[in-house]
Amino acid sequence: MPSHTLKVDSVQLEFDGRKILQDIYLDCSTGEIVGLLGRNGCGKSSLLRIIFGSLNCSYRYVSIDGHHLQKGYHNNRIAYLPQHNYLPAGIKIYKLAEPFVDPLLWDEFCRQPAFKLHQHKTVNQLSGGELRQLETLMIICSHADFILLDEPFTHISPVQADDLKILIKQCAKTKGVIVTDHQYYNVLDVSDRIILLDNGCTRAVNSAHDLVTYKYLSGI
Amino acid sequence: MKRLTTLIFHFYRPLFFINLVFSFCAIFDLIKFGLRAMPIVIIIKLFGYLVCISYQYFFSAKSYFYYRNAGLSARLMYTYIFILDILLFILLSTIILIPFYALTHLKG
């Protein structure tokens, strides 16, 4: 399996003259899980959407293996799990999954209870947690080389979160994963490396004490 | 190709009946006024597409992420379904108008 590297640099984002993102550098290679932490409103989701290509900003440089990407989602290079539900209503889940999931991962995907138990239902027939699990699973098993997960642990139970962490680690054997969530302990648990978004800048976090230093945590 | 076709049909599905209603309105004009109604037909179809985009934007814009994650932009999906709809409209017009004109011709 060839190795790829995603690089994000010089992102500048402003809302009403207020600088949200200004000094950003982020890289992620296939086989790696990068955790992205930050306070509410610091621009984590915006940064992921900029990388994905669904949010425009003043300036951005996103590349994979040195090749500039105009839109991250073109040619299935990057997949993104948004905070909201994204599956179209009124269509059977197996019909939605077939064109979406990577054929190489199809057997593994079909074994997952989140799909197996609900494949003949539509999204309206699932609970919030079941739908979140399914949507996350579909993103993880999509064609993309890089996976951006925005709050994948929200709306799911602790046991399901543990299962999801195993799945994310499996996925990271062949893909690069960037994950962000306010359940920082789950992010710390699953990630190989942590980046903190603070005042529009990315900061490398070497130990949990750094999170206290940067005032993301009040104490450990 | 099968994958793309499936995705196009998923996208077209909630908009099919809206487009069908506008297509029948346009065909009705063609029956009533003949080819003179062509500018009105074009306006009706364009208005139908505007209604489709508005409907999708207000009621299921979040599902754009499904298509983006499948590697296709919303703009591209709209282009595909509007081409598909034009082809369906031509087919529907032909099926309805040819027997209609033939009948009118026979009646003299």
Residue-level pLDDT at B108: 66
CA distances from B70 to A33, A58, A124 (A): 22, 26, 21
- What 8-state DSSP symbol labels residue A218? S
Q: What is the pLDDT of residues A64-117, one digit of tens each?
A: 999 999 888 888 899 999 999 999 998 999 999 999 999 999 999 999 988 999
Q: Please tell me which residue of chain B has the smallest CA distance to A148.
A: B69
Query: Which residue range(s) make up the domain with B35?
Result: 2-107
CA distances from B28 to B31, B38, B96, B107 (A): 5, 11, 10, 20
Whole-structure pTM value: 0.90
**CATH match for A5-213 among 3.40.50.300, 3.40.30.10, 2.70.98.90, 3.40.225.10:** 3.40.50.300
* A125-131 LR contacts (CB < 8 Å, sep 24+): A128/A155, A129/A155, A129/A156, A129/A157, A129/A160, A131/A85, A131/A87
Residue-level pLDDT at A1: 65
Residue-level pLDDT at A15: 85
pLDDT-derived band at A192 (thresholds 50, 70, 90) equals very high
Sign of the four-CA dihedral A170, A173, A179, A182 = positive
- Give the residues across from A177 on adjacent strands: A33, A147
Q: What is the pLDDT of residues B28-70, one digit of tens each?
A: 998 888 888 899 999 999 999 999 999 988 888 889 999 999 9
Residue-level pLDDT at B54: 93
Residue in A52, A84, A99 nearest the CB of B70 = A99
- Residue B7 and residue A143: Cβ atoms within 8 Å? no
Q: What is the pLDDT of residues A151-170, one digit of tens each?
A: 999 888 899 899 899 999 98
Res. B2: pLDDT tops 90: no
- Residue B71 and residue A86: Cβ atoms within 8 Å? no
Burial (Cβ within 10 Å: 0-12, 13-18, ≥19) of residue B98: exposed
Strand stretches in chain A, DSSP E? 5-15, 18-21, 25-29, 33-38, 59-64, 67-68, 78-81, 146-150, 176-180, 193-198, 201-205
Q: Please tell me which residue of chain B has the smallest CA distance to A147.
A: B69
Which value does ipTM take for this structure?
0.91
Reduced 3-state DSSP string for A18-62: EEEECECEEEEECCCEEEEEECCCCCHHHHHHHHHCCCCCCEEEE
**What whole-number distance in Å separates Cα of residue B82 and Cα of residue A43?**
36
Q: Please tell me which residue of chain A has the smallest CA distance to B70.
A: A100
Chosen for mutation from B17, B55, B68 (greatest number of chain A CBs closer than 10 Å) is B68
Partners of residue A143 in chain B, C-beta under 8 Å: 70-71
pLDDT-derived band at A217 (thresholds 50, 70, 90) equals confident
- Residue B7 and residue A99: Cβ atoms within 8 Å? yes
What is the tally of structural domains in chain B? 1
Partners of residue B59 in chain A, C-beta under 8 Å: none
Residue-level pLDDT at A212: 87
Instruction: Work out the mean pLDDT of chain A and round it to a whole number.
Output: 91
**What whole-number distance in Å separates Cα of residue A79 and Cα of residue A163?**
20
**What whole-number distance in Å separates Cα of residue A157 and Cα of residue A213?**
30
Residue-level pLDDT at A154: 86
Res. A198: pLDDT tops 70: yes
Q: What is the mean pLDDT of residues A173-195?
A: 92
- What are the structural domain ranges in chain A? 5-213
